[in-house]
Structures are given as structure tokens and as C-alpha cells.
A = this chain, B = another copy of it.
Amino acid sequence: MKQPFDPPDPDFANRIKESFSNQKFMSLIGAKLVDVQPGYCEIHLPFRDDLTQQHGYFHAAVTTSIADSGAGYAAFTLMPTGHEVLSVEFKVNLLTPGQGKLLIAKAYVLKTGRTLTVCRADVFVIKDGQEKLCAAAQVTLISLKPKVD
């Protein structure tokens, strides 16, 4: 599904690393930005006991947060310098419990437009060396133009 995209800002990767590092909530949960390509973003999240729901698995909110965040940065790779990205809405299916030692969110752009971008994001949980799809999301993002002073 990954398509050849041509990012308008060649320095998109640094811009995204900086934005990601400013998201204090991503630091709180220990999420790591692992890969950014034009139209693609991958975020990893190691298991921690304080990220769990009542059965001791990754909380759905945590799983979802890296799907949404990955989609935001996948979209952001294709936006011009100075623009900002915001999630308009998303939908996620929680396919199987997040039981394992690592979550990997892989997000990719389906369609990019002047205002709106639509992404899909898949979250995999790693257990005993096996990668299992545990959540599937579809996300709409908006590009906000820089305000002129």
C-alpha cells in the first residue's frame, strides 16, 4: 500500500523528530520514533507495568495512542515547512489483546490532499518473537497553514 510520495520539505525527518520529542505524553509512556519515510512512520513502545489495563496487558488507549501518533507523523512527512498537523478523527479496531513485550505501530498515507490526509495504521504486538496484528486504525488529519503575523 506504500506509495512513492514526494515530500515538499526535504528536511521532514528532522522536523518530525523535533515535534515528537516535544510530545510529553509520548515520553511519559516511553514511545520511540523508529522510522520516518515519505508517507510512512513507525513507532515502538516497550511493555511497562504502568501501561496496562486490568488484566495486565497493554491498555487499549496506549495501543491506540501510537497508532494515532504514527498516522499523524506519516501525514506530516508530506506537508510543507511551517504547516502543522492535527488529528481530525480516527477509528480503531482492537483485534486481539495487547499481550507481549513490545508494540509496533506502522502508519502509512492512503491519500494526501491540500487540506486533509487519510492514513491507515496497524499496531503489532511482539510476543515470543512473533508479530501479531492487535489493532487496525484509519485516521483523518488536517494540515494547518502557518499563521501570518
A interface residues, how many (CB within 8 angstroms): 46
Contact for A95 among B69, B94, B110, CB less than 8 A: B110
Inter-chain contacts of A110 with B (CB < 8 A): 93, 95, 133, 136
- Tell me whether A60 is interfacial, beta carbon within 8 Å: yes
Contact for A24 among B50, B64, B69, B116, CB less than 8 A: B50
* Interface pair A88/B116, CB less than 8 Å apart: yes
Contact for A91 among B52, B69, B89, B111, CB less than 8 A: B89
Inter-chain contacts of A22 with B (CB < 8 A): 53-54
- Tell me whether A62 is interfacial, beta carbon within 8 Å: yes
* Interface pair B95/A140, CB less than 8 Å apart: no
25 pairs across A/B with beta carbons < 8 Å?
Answer: A22-B54, A23-B54, A23-B59, A25-B52, A25-B59, A28-B51, A59-B65, A61-B68, A61-B69, A86-B94, A88-B88, A88-B140, A89-B91, A89-B118, A89-B140, A93-B111, A95-B110, A96-B111, A111-B133, A115-B142, A116-B142, A118-B136, A136-B138, A138-B138, A140-B140
Residue of B nearest to A89 (CB): B93
Residue of B nearest to A19 (CB): B54
